DNA sequence: GGTTATGTTATTTC
DNA sequence: AGAAATAACATAAC
């Protein structure tokens, strides 16, 4: 259930709990100080990329939904509870997710300017980090959370389609202007995606991801696992340009 | 039973 | 040493 925009949306759903005191923390997640969380005030909730951060006065609990994570607000799901937080005004339950305890100050742990949806996101820094990996496939580089935190496989596919760049292009071969636009597109699509979540707009907004046909050329998208990570890409050979080294 | 999937991380390999 | 590939983990649906 991840991708940055969904996590920001989840954070917004949970904001009513801010200021409330934990009545009880339960679950099967390891390294969580269940007992000492009791009576702690939830100071704030933040996100970093696909991570959700519950901030308490002296520590933070980090939730990552990974691939299969589920959550329920004011209800319970019929599966193994990983972390449940009971407040006066309701409860939050997480399942099949990664939970961690963070004792360091968050500014020491996170570089917020890496997060595509954070106000301090720094596109120039992202561009520089991308060019530091010139031999990587662009479809792999876009998923690097140290470069573009919050971008997932859906955003990756649609951004490449929108900017008409072939997923197998090498980062170092993409002209700077095009790569710059690609970074901008990550921000724009993530923001749009968040707006769709907020508006509760029905239907599908993906142009390429999980789609059968290219809306520009009306030919079937190619669906293929690309690169060492093997994440699936949806792309159109006709309208997405492949940037590779000149072979002479 | 096998495959697939909005993901990360620990371990191994080069 | 450090980058890159591989394995591992988690879970439901088709």
Read off the pLDDT of residues A26-70 as tens digits, 9 standing for 90 and up. 999 988 999 999 999 999 999 999 999 999 999 999 999 999 999
Which nucleotide, over all strands, has the C1' atom closest to the CA of A68?
A: C11
CA dihedral for A112, A114, A118, A122, sign (positive or negative): positive
Which nucleotide, over all strands, has the C1' atom closest to the CA of A229?
A: C5
Strand order in the sheet with A98-102: A44-48, A51-55, A60-64, A98-102
Q: What is the pLDDT of residue A1?
A: 61
Protein residue minimizing CA–C1' distance to C7: A229
Protein-to-nucleotide distance from the CA of A204 to the C1' of B11, whole angstroms: 39
Q: What is the pLDDT of residue A247?
A: 63
For residue A20, the 8-state DSSP code is P
Protein-to-nucleotide distance from the CA of A119 to the C1' of B1, whole angstroms: 48
Q: What is the pLDDT of residue A201?
A: 79
As given in the structure block, the two tokens for residue A50 are: 């696909």
Q: What is the pLDDT of residue A248?
A: 53
Q: List phi, psi (to 5°) of A131.
A: -70, -15
Protein-to-nucleotide distance from the CA of A153 to the C1' of B10, whole angstroms: 22
Residue A203 has pLDDT above 90, yes or no: no
Q: What is the pLDDT of residue A228?
A: 87
- What rounded mean pLDDT belongs to chain A? 94
Q: Which nucleotides of C are covered by protein (CB under 7 A)?
A: 4-6, 9-12
For nucleic chain C, give residues with Cβ below 7 angstroms from it.
A 66-68, 79-80, 82, 95-96, 133, 135-136, 227-229
Over residues A69-78, mean pLDDT: 94
| pTM, rounded to two decimals | 0.95
Protein-to-nucleotide distance from the CA of A6 to the C1' of B4, whole angstroms: 22
How far is the CA of A10 from the CAs of A3, A5, A13, A65, A72, in angstroms? Answer: 11, 9, 5, 11, 10
Protein-to-nucleotide distance from the CA of A227 to the C1' of B3, whole angstroms: 19
CB A223 within 8 A of CB A233: yes
């Amino acid at each position: 259930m991840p991708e940055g925009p969904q996590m920001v949306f989840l954070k917004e759903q949970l904001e009513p709990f801010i200021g409330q005191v934990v009545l009880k923390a339960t679950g099967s997640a390891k390294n969580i100080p269940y007992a000492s969380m009791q009576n702690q005030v939830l100071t704030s909730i933040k996100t970093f990329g696909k991570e959700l951060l519950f901030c308490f006065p002296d520590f933070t609990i980090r939730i990552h939904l990974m691939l299969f994570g589920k959550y329920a607000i004011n209800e319970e799901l019929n599966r193994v509870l990983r972390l449940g937080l009971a407040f006066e005004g309701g409860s939050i339950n997480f399942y099949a997710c990664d939970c961690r305890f963070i004792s360091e100050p968050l500014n020491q742990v996170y570089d917020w300017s890496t997060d595509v949806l954070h106000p301090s996101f720094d596109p120039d820094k992202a561009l520089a980090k991308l060019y530091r990996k010139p031999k990587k496939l662009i479809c792999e580089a876009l998923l690097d959370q140290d470069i573009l935190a919050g971008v997932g496989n859906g955003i990756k596919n649609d951004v490449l389609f929108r900017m008409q760049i072939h997923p197998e292009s090498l980062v170092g071969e993409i002209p700077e202007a095009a790569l710059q636009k690609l970074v901008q597109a990550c921000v724009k699509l993530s923001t749009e995606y968040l707006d769709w979540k907020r508006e509760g707009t029905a239907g599908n907004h993906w142009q390429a991801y999980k789609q059968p046909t290219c809306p520009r050329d009306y030919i079937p998208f190619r669906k293929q696992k690309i690169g060492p990570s093997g994440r699936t890409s949806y792309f159109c050979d006709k309208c997405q340009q492949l940037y590779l080294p000149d072979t002479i």
